[in-house]
């Protein structure tokens, strides 16, 4: 069995036991660093109080590849210029490296990458620098450029890259990029996010990532409310059929994607461990008979209001959506399909 999943790490003993029992299917885990300052692209990600405690839990995890999330959209000048703040981050990474529980970092802010390389070159030389999903690697030129810029630092080149979520619904382009990578970068693993569940080409994403970064810098939680009233959440409430346009990969469709890529990333580190265990088990089984929304991260909140029968989606659903032109008012395919496989669970307020 070739491991094919990249999954969130949660610092819970029962969850770690589950990961270990499923380790033959899991290629890697990604984790948040502890500390008052949030370093990853989530406002409420779960972690522990000290990096030593985190390292101890990672040591119990029978998954060889482990990546620290430094994937906030930006961090602000203070982190890059305040030596005390920077030293705390470097010390946390150094402890993980000394304990051999980290393979690399997942980043989006290249300023931070360069700063860490300058300030801790020996540490950087032990770690892979993996471009985060929100670097949106969707072309050969962009992949080449990011790898070249990583090469200008002391960090090790990545052994995997996550391709942009939009390629989940552009299968011909995905195959083209995958073939190019196989020929020119044969040792590089390719990854797609499987269950994010956000809008296709989400118009709010860049701003949402920026608001999350500001929340994390300031210790606030404004981004959730803004997204709920002004962002993609309010749009999905009004037009829930749009969830079918989301570039998710169903468990049933995994094998068709593994022809081009090596790893399916499971998102959802803000979900509880019971939900994550169900999601991971569904992808391992390549089957889910329940509510599609219970698989998805960004739209998981809708699962208490709406049931979408995953079994009602045909075996060629991914292929059909790959030719979507997002002209819903004339096509109406998603609207009609949605009405036939969904029903409300309670009255919306």
276-304 pLDDT per residue, tens: 999 999 999 999 999 999 999 988 988 99
CA distances from 139 to 133, 135, 148, 255 (A): 13, 11, 14, 23
Q: Which of 57, 54, 66, 56 is nearest to 27 (CA)?
A: 66
Per-residue pLDDT of the chain (349 residues; tens, 9 = 90+): 689 999 999 999 999 999 999 999 999 999 999 976 788 887 665 678 899 999 999 999 999 999 999 999 999 898 999 999 999 999 999 999 999 999 999 999 999 999 999 999 999 999 999 999 999 999 999 999 999 999 999 999 999 999 999 999 999 999 999 999 999 999 999 999 999 988 888 888 888 888 888 888 877 777 777 878 887 888 888 888 989 999 999 999 999 999 999 999 999 998 999 999 999 999 999 999 999 999 999 889 889 999 999 999 887 787 777 777 777 777 787 888 889 999 998 754 4
Task: Tell me the torsion sign for CA atoms 89, 94, 97, 99.
Answer: negative
How many C-beta atoms surround the C-beta of residue 60 within 10 A? 12
CB distance 61 to 16 below 8 Å: yes
Q: What is the pLDDT of residues 270-282, one digit of tens each?
A: 899 999 999 999 9
Phi, psi of 39 (to 5 degrees): -105, -10
CB distance 231 to 204 below 8 Å: yes
Transcribe 46-110 into DSSP letters: ---S-HHHHHHHHHT---SEEEEEE--S---HHHHH-HHHHHHHHHHHHHHHHTT---EEEES-H
104's CB contacts (< 8 A; 6+ apart) are 67, 68, 127, 128, 129, 130, 155, 156, 158, 159
- Give Dmax (Cα) for the chain: 58
Phi, psi of 273 (to 5 degrees): -65, -30
3-class state of residue 338 by DSSP: helix
Q: Which of 10, 23, 67, 5 is nearest to 254 (CA)?
A: 5
- Strands in 189-193's sheet, in edge-to-edge order, are 128-131, 104-107, 65-70, 26-31, 5-8, 263-265, 189-193, 160-162
The answer to whether the predicted template modeling score (pTM) of the entire model surpasses 0.85 is yes
Instruction: Say what the pLDDT of residue 349 is.
Output: 44
What would be the CATH architecture of the domain defined by 5-288? Alpha-Beta Barrel (3.20)
């Amino acid at each position: 069995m070739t491991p094919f999943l990249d999954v969130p790490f949660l610092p819970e003993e029962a969850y770690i036991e589950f990961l270990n029992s499923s380790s033959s299917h899991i290629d890697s885990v990604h984790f948040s660093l502890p500390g008052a300052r949030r370093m990853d692209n989530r406002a409420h990600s779960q972690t522990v109080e000290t990096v030593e405690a985190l390292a101890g839990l990672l040591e119990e995890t029978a998954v060889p590849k482990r990546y620290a999330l430094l994937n906030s959209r930006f961090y602000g000048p203070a982190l890059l210029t305040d030596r005390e703040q920077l030293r705390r981050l470097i010390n946390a990474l150094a402890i993980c490296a000394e304990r051999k529980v980290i393979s690399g970092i997942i980043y989006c802010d290249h300023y931070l990458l360069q700063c860490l390389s300058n300030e801790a070159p020996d540490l950087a030389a032990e770690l892979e620098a993996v471009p985060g999903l929100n670097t949106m690697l969707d072309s050969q030129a962009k992949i080449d450029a990011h790898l070249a810029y990583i090469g200008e630092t002391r960090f090790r080149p990545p052994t995997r890259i996550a391709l942009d979520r939009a390629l989940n619904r552009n299968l011909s382009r995905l195959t083209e990029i995958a073939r190019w990578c196989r020929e020119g970068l044969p040792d590089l693993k390719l990854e797609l996010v499987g269950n994010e569940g956000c809008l296709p080409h989400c118009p709010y994403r860049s701003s949402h990532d920026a608001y999350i970064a500001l929340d994390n810098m300031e210790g606030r939680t404004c981004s959730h409310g803004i997204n709920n009233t002004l962002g993609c959440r309010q749009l999905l409430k009004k037009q829930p059929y749009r969830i079918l346009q989301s570039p998710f990969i169903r468990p049933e469709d995994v094998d068709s994607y593994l022809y081009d890529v090596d790893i399916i990333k499971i998102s959802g580190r803000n979900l509880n461990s019971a939900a994550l265990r169900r999601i991971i088990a569904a992808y391992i089984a390549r089957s889910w008979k329940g509510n599609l929304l219970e698989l998805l991260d960004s739209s998981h909140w809708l699962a208490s209001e709406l049931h979408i029968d995953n079994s009602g989606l045909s075996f060629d659903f991914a292929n059909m959506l790959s030719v979507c032109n997002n002209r819903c008012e004339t096509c109406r395919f998603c609207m009609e399909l949605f009405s036939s496989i969904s029903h409300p669970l309670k009255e919306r307020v």
